[in-house]
Amino acid sequence: MKKIRLLKCPGYGPATRLDKLADLPLQFDATAALPGDLIMPSPVNAHDHGYGIRTLDFGAVDDALEVWIPGLRLRPRTDPYLEALVAFGRLARTGVGATMHCHNSLNVDHLVDEASAVMRAAGDIGIRLALSCPLLDHDAWAYDGGPNRLKPFLSTSDWQALEPTIPAYAPISTQLAAVEAVAAANTSPLVDVQYGPIGPQWCSNALLEAIAEASAHHNRRIHMHLLESPRQRVWLDRRFPEGVVTYLDSIGFLSPRLAIAHGVQLRPDELELLAERGVQLVSNPSANLRLRSGIAPIATALEIGGPPFAIGLDGTGLDDDQDLWREMRLLYLLQGGRGPTRRLTAQNVFDAAIRVGGRVINANQAEDFTIVDYQALIADALFDDIDEAEILLTRMSAKYAKGLIVAGRDVMRRGELTGIDFDAALSELGAQARADLPRLEEQRPLVRALSEATHAYYATWPGIS
């Protein structure tokens, strides 16, 4: 009899170990697994942006969030399908079969086409997708006033070159209608379309209120960045004297249909209110360290009955390799505390990555499994009964993911995708990016000037170090 272990992760079902192939709980192509492999519910990447080309590759070196954002202007123009295909393919190869994709296009006229390209890419790879459609209309480039705030920090010629690129936002009704058009065009049961207000600092009150209403009306989820950087805390405290979370509650924005990303600067009373309203929090520990936002109060949230949390890569994993397993490890280590009792357990981490992640993407991934080369992980272990969750959190990484099954479909085996030729897609994407190099070379000095102006602007803000 083949011996296969099944780890049903805590929080996603009873902990079970099976030793007979016949005991597997679903129609499972057993040729994908070998005796000794570990088969587990697949974790969810609960916040990301679908970057086929990673930010560092076009020169956006890590920096404080606001100073880093101008560097995103150097993202090469590529085919949205190919961009998403590479991003999703890279993720599926790590054994992760579901992702929250916060789309970054700011042109509402292109949204429906781009979103359908992204959905097609997810379908061709075979992963689950939540697609958050961008919504924004406020304070581009700089909080508390928008582009004009940066003018004193730019040369006249740089300002004149930048001024035509100040975004003109479509009316709120047009933006919301585009989301409904994206949802209407979706035919896949593996895709969930959501509202994606980028963050309260980039949304007018009118837009936030319209989204709250539309979400209730259409029963559609919202996914939004909230209180990521310390400068957002300072500015939102000034803009909403009652507190931004209290404000969001007053307009009916907080509900079980909402997930917020980051939440690094949340206060305990805000965590409690979010929990009361059934909101989920998505933590992105690498992004928060790399963009100097800090460490999210995840363990505190657990201790005071705050919102449940999920885990996302946000395009900026620890080794820049989109490895959610390492992200889980980082979160586990950052939130353990210093006392004799861990503030956050292995069970909490798997519950976050699997069960809460599923809520964030509005999916039930009961038929999604990652096959782990567990024998390789425990090759030197002296005991056979060391807790699997601890082994995974201490040693698991993408290279040990040998299979991925999503909704019963074989998506990845031994690192190779079944749906597409990943290397060919990556090389075509690279060729498209290089073809855009002359434009990017021309843009680089201007982008550098905008980053420096942003740095100079926030350097005048008190109380942040």
Q: Which residues bind Zn ion (CB under 5 A)?
A: 314
Structure tokens belonging to residue 346:
């292995």
Between helix 80-93 and helix 108-125 the angle, nearest 10°, is 40
Question: Which of residues 192 and 314 has its CB atom nearest to Zn ion in the complex?
Answer: 314
Between helix 108-125 and helix 172-185 the angle, nearest 10°, is 30
Question: Which of residues 221 and 402 has its CB atom nearest to Zn ion in the complex?
Answer: 221
Strands 5-6 and 38-41: parallel
The Cβ-side half-sphere exposure at 359, using a 13 Å CA radius, reads: 23
Query: Contact, 451 vs 67, CB < 8 A?
Result: yes
Query: Contact, 197 vs 230, CB < 8 A?
Result: no
Residues 6+ apart with CB under 8 A from 383: none
Query: Contact, 276 vs 308, CB < 8 A?
Result: no
Neighbours of 157 (CB within 10 A): 10
Tally: H helices and E strands in the chain: 18, 14
Q: How far apart are CA 81 and CA 99, in angstroms?
A: 16
Question: Which of residues 226 and 412 has its CB atom nearest to Zn ion in the complex?
Answer: 226
Q: Is 315 helix (H, G, I), strand (E, B) or coil?
A: coil
C-beta nearest to Zn ion: residue: 314
The stretches of 48-144 forming alpha helices (DSSP H) are 65-68, 80-93, 108-125
Q: How far apart are CA 412 and CA 32, in angstroms?
A: 9
Q: How far apart are CA 129 and CA 100, in angstroms?
A: 6
Question: Which of residues 314 and 323 has its CB atom nearest to Zn ion in the complex?
Answer: 314
Q: How far apart are CA 225 and CA 46, in angstroms?
A: 12
Question: Which of residues 100 and 389 has its CB atom nearest to Zn ion in the complex?
Answer: 100
The stretches of 13-107 forming alpha helices (DSSP H) are 65-68, 80-93
With 0-12 / 13-18 / 19 or more C-beta atoms within 10 angstroms meaning exposed / middle / buried, residue 233 is buried
CB of 253 to Zn ion, least distance (A): 18
Question: Which of residues 41 and 71 has its CB atom nearest to Zn ion in the complex?
Answer: 71
Question: Which of residues 37 and 314 has its CB atom nearest to Zn ion in the complex?
Answer: 314
Query: Contact, 227 vs 256, CB < 8 A?
Result: no
Structure tokens belonging to residue 415:
């690192």
Question: Which of residues 314 and 327 has its CB atom nearest to Zn ion in the complex?
Answer: 314
Question: Which of residues 46 and 274 has its CB atom nearest to Zn ion in the complex?
Answer: 46
First-residue to last-residue Cα distance in the chain: 61
Question: Which of residues 48 and 114 has its CB atom nearest to Zn ion in the complex?
Answer: 48
Question: Which of residues 137 and 314 has its CB atom nearest to Zn ion in the complex?
Answer: 314
CB of 330 to Zn ion, least distance (A): 16
What's phi and psi for 453, nearest 5 deg? -65, -40
